[in-house]
Structure 1
């Protein structure tokens, strides 16, 4: 038996068609990167919020008619160009080991969403379905992995934008849907302007209508609030080694404020908010720390919410706690942070990750709280959402539904230096103010601290790495917005509709690619359906 001759592999011919394919792939990749970068540039501290719809318009052009695999690849590039610069602050003091893996993970989850967006891109009404799929993808990123990482939700880049009032109706998910729909509809104009124009106009019209639902007048009186920013000895991780200096800074700045009040240079506050980690020394175990805090409380003659690290007497593990100190009484209540930061306050799969780096042991062993109820402080019922918690829709909502009429965000951003992190977080607080119709007080160890009105406007703010105190009279609003009353329902409904669209598109694809009776082996019916696009 003679063996068949083996034909050696031939190099792929450098034909004009192949060169066009390579150029097309390169162009699409560059456009995807430009689109993702546009969305990044829409986030604070910049006020170019309108770049977010531009980024989605680019994405819409790239995804239309593509298969899921192409949608995944293009979305990965788009997501990396968006998330890598947005999350640069995560590597400020620990390097690439935190920043690049996190950015890649976020981009991969975005790519899952863009793959699904490509699948639905040939359905009638494609921009709507694609925007709904985007909402579903943001919902996914809010819960996985490790409890979710909602940083980069499109709504958090819109505190200066037209769409912000929609937060009072459907929360951050509705704002994100409106932004995505605007851009995706713009991308659809040349294909079907009769559909695209209404889809383009509707989000803007809805946002304008929702403006009438945003109120700043008090319905439960007012409160004079002080946010104390004591500052830290220097930026960086090692501020934690200087715990007493941080506490002393906040005591000293509060004593200065008390002197200003006595001299008539500042209004007497009804309540005072100190930042997260303003006392990394447990005041329940250290008498001197407790005495200093009480000294400040007596001087200012108002209750102080103090961010402290408290060691649980039973399991001996730390809690990120806010302790309420009252004049003449001392500590009367506590709130423990419920949503902990993975790879910071906690370390998931510590033993596994230690195989790759001993840096995992720099992460804490904090334990989460379970009770969302905040504090009664003077005339205010204060919802407390500590630092990272402000990014999570459900965490903030649960604290509000306990009857709060004011939101406080004690935070510690000193670890992240002069990066954009603190501005990104302040933007979240502004969205939450509109979403729940409440004034928001942001108290940061090193800045930016701020007073935010219920319409999302910033009425007072500090700089970075300065000692300061903000005093403002703010409206107390107990009325629940539509977004507060509806809770997670808008997100659930939009997510369900997006997933339904994916299921329908996949069903249509399978039917169109099913072999027809009498067709030759390997022949399929492909009439230009979703799977037929390269």
Structure 2
């Protein structure tokens, strides 16, 4: 295969992988994309593998994170996509070493799992470095409407990505076998991939309440206008959410245990701003329930906290949570002087967000249940990070609430991509999950990852839901450290062994 053909196939494969994710959601293309990458990397050198992988990854990430261009401009978008693509280059180089080393014997039946292990390890590495990682675009997040998604209950996003990558490798290996006129392997390998994707149907997923139900009022207040300037309309945004709360209560949907507003719904901290305090207190009193809202705490001298507050109808604060994983180059600017050379947008962030220290949980008094309920309070991009979500559930969360503000991303797929992550987290943790956004999409998701209610984008809407409370611990949460580190350690070990074997053979006398 010529260099031009390999590069073209890599680029087309990356574009196909992007189409597997929301909004298009053409999930079968994920396996086509991985098969294309398999064929590109056949007989490639390590440097060639890096090149083809980087082209594949960049072609995938450029359309996948187009929302970054909408939010912060051309140069940051290109930098994010191309830098993320380099991780796929590392994968390609590692896979080239493994195949050329000859350490895996047994054909595609063993090569496909090795391919999948390197892929899962690459995704875990990308979720950690640099600056805390960027897990957006993990293969698992494209497979929510496929039985393999149920594997998240057992091993989280890492296991779903591994199985899906293995199926893609089996498809690629099958095509390679057919090109070599090995008919049995060419047919059997893709069929085995289909079987692997179907195993999830055997897992015992349940969405039934175990520790009662929680009655939620969810308000999507909308913002006055799209884009970064929406943050300049903080007072109106809070008023919109107050108005939505009153409209919800006026419809008399039923008793409310918790009123939910999204991230940034009250950017003026109601603990220090009397006008905001009046608006949120009025809303909590109308619902006759505590209000979970997003705000900013500017009390630190060296930055601010992205906060969630649990606000009582009396006007007191029942509990707080500070976001643990601020988004780099969005909520805080590392290497600011250097970054400013590429985009003046960095100076829109005048107060860097500081990381919080405590798990993403709050304690909610629920008189109807005659007890307190621990709720998971994940903020925005934190839903993409395994330790934040599984850590909340291991700390006792019986339901997950993902508060987010998608106003900066316009009419892009960012919000629905985030919804896919929330759906996977519901399966992984066995918890009902609510995504509450300022502008949409907001959604109610059961513990099997199924969406029961969903709002539109850039609309003012309200939802009422009775969600199941569950306190059982899934294998994915119980073994969370294993699933966070095993793919990375296994992939690194495989790659190091392959390189060592090749070096040994090269210098063998």
Give, in whole Å, the separation in 2 of the partners of 1:300 and 1:508.
66
Q: Does 1:469 align with 2:462?
A: yes
Q: Deviations over 1:330-359 (max 9, x none)?
A: 222111111101111100011232344433
* Contact kept? 2:360, 2:389, Cα under 8 Å: no
- Name the structure 2 match of 1:95: 73
- Name the structure 1 match of 2:263: 276
- Name the structure 1 match of 2:356: 369
- Name the structure 1 match of 2:291: 304
More deviation, 436-445/54-63: 54-63
Q: 2:120 pairs with 106, 112, 135, which one?
A: 135
- Paired residue secondary structure (2:328): coil
* Contact kept? 1:113, 1:137, Cα under 8 Å: yes
- Name the structure 1 match of 2:147: 162
- Name the structure 2 match of 1:109: 87
Q: CA deviation at 1:56?
A: 0.7
Give, in whole Å, the separation in 1 of the partners of 2:386 and 2:190.
26
- Measured at CA, do residues 491 and 241 of structure 1 come closer, stay the same or move farther in structure 2, by a change above 3 Å? closer
Q: CA deviation at 1:178?
A: 0.7
Q: 1:208 pairs with 190, 196, 199, which one?
A: 199
Q: CA deviation at 1:297?
A: 0.3
Q: CA deviation at 1:381?
A: 1.9
- Name the structure 2 match of 1:358: 344
More deviation, 207-216/132-141: 207-216
Q: CA deviation at 1:176?
A: 0.5
Q: CA deviation at 1:39?
A: 0.8
Q: CA deviation at 1:195?
A: 10
- Measured at CA, do residues 356 and 97 of structure 1 come closer, stay the same or move farther in structure 2, by a change above 3 Å? closer
Task: State the aligned residue count.
Answer: 489
Q: Does 1:390 align with 2:390?
A: no
Task: Please give the TM-score of this superposition, normalised by the length of structure 2.
Answer: 0.92
Q: CA deviation at 1:207?
A: 4.5
Q: CA deviation at 1:276?
A: 0.1
- Measured at CA, do residues 206 and 419 of structure 1 come closer, stay the same or move farther in structure 2, by a change above 3 Å? closer
After superposition, residues 68-467 of structure 1 pair within 5 angstroms as 68-122=46-100, 123-124=104-105, 125-189=110-174, 190-191=176-177, 197=188, 201=192, 204-205=195-196, 207-209=198-200, 211-261=202-252, 266-312=253-299, 314-315=300-301, 317-363=303-349, 364-377=351-364, 378=366, 379=369, 380-467=373-460
Q: Deviations over 1:388-424 (max 9, x none)?
A: 1001011111111110110000000000011010010
Q: CA deviation at 1:194?
A: 5.6
Give, in whole Å, the separation in 1 of the partners of 2:199 and 2:273.
54
Q: CA deviation at 1:206?
A: 6.7
| Residue ranges of structure 2 left out of the alignment (5+ in a row) | none
- Paired residue secondary structure (2:72): coil
| Residue ranges of structure 1 left out of the alignment (5+ in a row) | 1-20, 517-534
Give, in whole Å, the separation in 2 of the partners of 1:137 and 1:206.
21
More deviation, 40-49/369-378: 369-378
More deviation, 355-364/412-421: 355-364
Q: CA deviation at 1:272?
A: 1.4
Q: Does 1:38 align with 2:41?
A: no
More deviation, 428-437/44-53: 44-53
Give, in whole Å, the separation in 2 of the partners of 1:198 and 1:88.
35
* Contact kept? 2:170, 2:192, Cα under 8 Å: no
- Measured at CA, do residues 135 and 205 of structure 1 come closer, stay the same or move farther in structure 2, by a change above 3 Å? closer
- Paired residue secondary structure (2:363): strand
- Measured at CA, do residues 356 and 497 of structure 1 come closer, stay the same or move farther in structure 2, by a change above 3 Å? closer
Give, in whole Å, the separation in 2 of the partners of 1:353 and 1:457.
40
Query: How large is the RMSD of aligned CA atoms in angstroms?
Result: 1.9
- Measured at CA, do residues 344 and 332 of structure 1 come closer, stay the same or move farther in structure 2, by a change above 3 Å? same
- Name the structure 2 match of 1:482: 475
- Paired residue secondary structure (2:11): helix
Q: CA deviation at 1:114?
A: 1.4
* Contact kept? 1:163, 1:175, Cα under 8 Å: yes
Give, in whole Å, the separation in 2 of the partners of 1:198 and 1:218.
40
* Contact kept? 1:227, 1:442, Cα under 8 Å: no
Give, in whole Å, the separation in 1 of the partners of 2:429 and 2:30.
24
Task: Please give the TM-score of this superposition, normalised by the length of structure 1.
Answer: 0.88
Q: CA deviation at 1:498?
A: 2.1
* Contact kept? 1:412, 1:445, Cα under 8 Å: yes
Q: CA deviation at 1:237?
A: 0.8
* Contact kept? 1:224, 1:474, Cα under 8 Å: yes
Q: CA deviation at 1:493?
A: 2.3
